[in-house]
Structure 1
Amino acid sequence: MPSWRSTRLPSSPLPRHWQRGFTLLETVLAFAVLGMVLSGLYTVSARSAGRLADARNTYLASEFARSMLDQYILATPPPSSSGTYRQTWDWEITEQRLGGLQPSSLDKHFAFYEVSVVVTRHGLSDTRPAVLSRTVARKAGRQ
């Protein structure tokens, strides 16, 4: 009858090809590398999400500015020159008569103006405004 003393454990470790699995150190290092890679990916995705939001706001501001400029130019009489749209966009339209143009026989009938609109995000002073300008001819006498 064999006893517990008759079972001998090998005195030397098993050869590497007989061992299975990973050591604790290898697992910890793998998780550390994985953590660094994932944190880098998170940083890149967070930056791109911020840039996407900025690009979206710039697009919306420029489209709103284009719309306001078209409405101002085509409306008779022109609407007010500043305002706030739905507590989202602040806008201001200016009209300045252009001088120094080549004189012509049509000067008594028409005058050229530069119409500009500036749109900013309501309540956010750190955002870049969208500015659009257009040169228009108006009948002489209309301001």
Structure 2
Amino acid sequence: MTPFTPQELRKGFSSFATGVTVITCQDADRNAHGITISSFNTVSLEPPLILWSLKKHSRLMPYFEVGHKQLIHVLERSQESMAMHFATVKENQFINIPHRIAASGLIQIEGCCAYFECETVSVHTGGDHHIIVAKVLNLQHAPDSQPLIFAHSKFMGLDF
């Protein structure tokens, strides 16, 4: 086989369509943070586990260590701008973002397809990323909603 570049690998990976999530968390001072992640995956029904990955050197990594909680938002088809907003880390991320404070104390963005409140149970190194395995503690979902999909480096929806 011919060697490939990281850019070629990324292009090949883009053939695999994924859902789009925003994951919210809190730092030690209870300040809210959010980040767009498309590496979300189910692991187990019993116990209820999911996984997702974050760049090893992300400044948000300390907020996702074992024992920390996060709220995973599965974005709805119309929330492409939300995905782009949280794709870059910035101050005051939740200004002009419709949200409420969930019972857990985490920020819950309004209008998403599903919500998974989780607690990190393990973190594994996988190349240039950390793989975060989390237990689902609570969930909500809107079964009639249309999820936002990312494939071939662009957003799209599914036609049912």
- Give me the TM-score of the superposition, normalised by structure 1: 0.25
Highest relative contact order (Cα 8 Å, sep 6+), 1 or 2? 2
Bigger share in strand:
2
Greater C-alpha Rg: 1
Bigger share in helix:
1
- Give me the TM-score of the superposition, normalised by structure 2: 0.23
